[in-house]
Amino acid sequence: MNIAGVQKFTLLDFPSKVACIVFTPGCNFRCPYCYNSDFVIPEKIEEIKDIFIPENIFFNFLKTRNGFLDGVVISGGEPTLQVDLIDFINKIKELGYKVKIDTNGTNPKIILELIEEKIIDYVAMDVKAPIEKYQSITNVLVNIDNILESINIIKDSNIEYEFRTTIIKEQLSQEDLEHIAKMIEGSKKYYLQKFRNNSVILDPSFKDMTSYSDKELEDISRVIKEKYNISICEFR
C-alpha cells in the first residue's frame, strides 16, 4: 500500500491506546481547512512520491514496537481509496495490533467490509456539514446517499466509533451543527473540533477564519447531546 508518512507515536488519536499513525496519499475531498494538503493535492503527492515509505520498512518498524504500541491509526488523505487497504490491515492484525481508521464516509461498501471482516477496532468518520452544505465545504460533488449509508453502517456496528466535525464559525452555524446532529442522532460519540489556524492548510485564505469560543461550544454540545440523544458530545 502507498504510505505517504508515518507518525511513530501518539497518545491522542486512538482512544485509550498507544499508537502510531499511517498517512495514505490521495483524497476525494478538497476541504479548504485540511492540514494534510501534501497528502491530498495530486501535484504535491507527486513531489513526495519518491519518499513514500515501503511496506516492508513499515512492518519492520511495527515488529520492533511489539509490547510498546497497542495500535495503528490509518489516516490520510482518505484511506478507503487505497485498493489494497484490506490486505494491509490484515498484515497489521497478524502482528497483534488494534486498528483504527479515519474516513470521510464516501465509501460505505469498504467500511462495511472492514467491519464485517472484523479487522478494524475503531472508526472515526468526519461528517463535514449538513446535507445542503456538503458540496460547498468539500469543494466537490458528493454522493450524499453514501455519506448517510456510512453513518448508518457505523452506528449499527458493534465496534467503537466516533463522528466528528471541524468547525469554522464562518461556515457552520449552530443550526447547521444541529442538522448534522440530526444526521447522526442516537450515536455514541460526536466531537466538535475547533478549527486551528496555526498550521499549513490547503487554502491559505482560511488562515483568517475562526472557530467558536469554548463557552459557545460547551453550550452547543449540551444542546446537541440532550436534543439528539448522543451519549457523548464534546468539543476539542
Between 43 and 171, whose confidence is greater? 171
- What is d(CA 101, CA 200) in angstroms, rounded to the nearest whole number? 23
Rg of the chain taking only CA atoms, in angstroms: 17
- Residue 13 lies in domain: 5-235
Does the pLDDT at position 22 exceed 90?
yes
Q: What is the pLDDT of residues 158-213, one digit of tens each?
A: 999 999 999 999 999 999 999 999 999 999 999 999 998 877 899 999 989 999 99
Overall number of domains in the chain: 1
Query: What is the predicted pLDDT for the residue at 197?
Result: 80
Band of pLDDT at residue 37, cut at 50, 70 and 90: confident
- CATH code, 52: 3.20.20.70
Band of pLDDT at residue 44, cut at 50, 70 and 90: confident
What lies within 8 Å, CB to CB, of 210 at 6+ separation is 168, 169, 170, 195, 197
Band of pLDDT at residue 20, cut at 50, 70 and 90: very high
Query: What is the predicted pLDDT for the residue at 232?
Result: 98
Of residues 84, 152, 82, 158, the one with CA closest to residue 120: 158
Q: What is the pLDDT of residues 69-126, one digit of tens each?
A: 999 999 999 999 999 999 999 999 999 999 999 999 999 999 999 999 999 999 999 9
Q: What is the pLDDT of residues 150-160, one digit of tens each?
A: 999 999 999 99
Considering only 10-14, 39-43, 105-109, which range has the smallest mean pLDDT? 39-43
Give how far the C-alpha of residue 204 lies from the chain's centroid of Cα atoms, to the nearest Å. 21
Query: What is the predicted pLDDT for the residue at 77?
Result: 94
Q: What nine digits make up the cell of 112? A: 462495511
Query: What is the predicted pLDDT for the residue at 49?
Result: 87
* Residue 106 near residue 77 (C-beta atoms within 8 A): no
Question: Residue 160 forms beta bridges with which residues?
Answer: 122
Band of pLDDT at residue 214, cut at 50, 70 and 90: very high
